[in-house]
Amino acid sequence: MPLGTQHRWKVLGAGVAANACFSCVVGGVPATAVFLRSHYQLSDSALGWVLGILGLGIAISEIPWGLLTDRWGDRPVLLTGLSSVALVLLCLAASAGHAPTATGLGVGLFVAGVLGSSVNGASGRAIMLWFQERERGLAMSIRQTAVPAGYALGAVMMPWLAQAYGFKAVFGTAGVLCLVCCMLVAAWIHEPTLLPARPDVQRASPLGDRRVWRSAAAISLLCAPQFAVLTYAVVFFHDAVGLNVTTVSITLALVHVGAIVGRLWSGRWTDRRNNRGVFLKACALLCAVAFLGLSLAVSLLGTALAAATVILPIAVLAAGVVASIWHGVAYAELANVAGVQRAGTALAMGNTGVFLVLFATPIAASAAVSHWGWSSLWALCALCALAAAVLFPGTARRSLAVTAAP
């Protein structure tokens, strides 16, 4: 029996759940950095590698998963990825309770990244197929709210679990959440009935499209400031400002709440005005200004800890929100450039760069802080945002690809 157009909201719901679940792992593990360092006896450099290794696993597997999604469809890719990453997380939980080692942790997080990256391109392609052109900015922004929602859940839940019950509870809970999302995908993710495609609107692979690569590079660079906040704000607040874990968790959770609200607003606003390219350039410039301000605040406050404990959390909150509101708009525009039937590959190209940046950011952040201090880290984030503003192309040509029939 054919599924009606209202089913698209179930597809969106399953996509949001899958992304939120995996984002809980991606964002929650760095939030436990202080506990990881002590539980697994990690040096600062080893901590940087462990915090980045999950992103490396995601980065190297994004394009293969995207190609498989465009060839096989979203459902089998999502089911395979979610069930297998759940198994890996449960194995990490078992090892954390008996013989935790830094090597086992690194290997487990790397494999979880390789398998979990399946949710990124697959869920995005399903949403692009089910929603019409003037709905896609909002739909993809709703889907992208899953990332800060998952990060917020991870930032609040995982440090508490790590402190109260250990990493057996951290990884075990994450594994169970992945299994629950797997059941939602099995129930709701299906291919839509498609209108026949015209031969003249078929597009070549996005892998050969310079506009897709340029957009993907801009997205990747603009993620660097966000990842710097998500992976090293905990260490920044603990080592440089002296805030407790509760205050840090609340600050990071507020960053994610702001990101959710901002993504919903930006998706709806750009759908109405058809100005995604202009919005993305402006957002990148605003991000550069915000992180430059944070860098200056760190330099000017110096050892004035009383002022720093108030001003710096607010500055990090503002910069983190600005760095997190543009994702849904950017991915909708990226998929439009490539065409929705090739969206799996195009989104995977963007995510490959994003997670390479996720891998590199904590390593680069550790080096920057060790050699030049915290102010230099936030200044480098501003430079990345400025480079992204230059790289974002103008408004993409509208997608003529196949869409779902009413």
The three-point CA angle 216-263-364 to 5° equals 50
- Residue 337 pLDDT level (bands cut at 50, 70, 90): confident
Q: How far apart are CA 165 and CA 109, in angstroms?
A: 20
pLDDT in tens, 118-165: 987 777 888 888 888 788 888 888 888 887 788 878 988 999 999 999
Average pLDDT, the chain: 85
Nearest CA to 109 out of 25, 166, 180 is that of: 25
**pLDDT greater at residue 194 or residue 404:** 194
Q: Which domains, ranges and CATH numbers included, belong to the chain?
A: 7-391 (1.20.1250.20)
pLDDT in tens, 224-237: 999 999 888 888 88
pLDDT at 17: 94
Count Cβ atoms within 10 A of the Cβ of residue 323 and give its class: 0-12 exposed, 13-18 middle, 19 or more buried.
Answer: buried
pLDDT at 6: 80
CA distances in angstroms from 386 to 63, 105, 188, 276, 315, listed in the order given: 26, 35, 40, 17, 19
CA distances in angstroms from 300 to 276, 303, 379, listed in the order given: 36, 9, 14
Nearest CA to 227 out of 252, 251, 245 is that of: 252
**pLDDT greater at residue 343 or residue 276:** 276
Nearest CA to 313 out of 233, 200, 370 is that of: 233
* Average confidence (pLDDT) over 24-51: 86
- Residue 262 pLDDT level (bands cut at 50, 70, 90): very high
Nearest CA to 40 out of 227, 168, 231 is that of: 168
First vs last Cα of the chain: how many Å apart?
Answer: 14
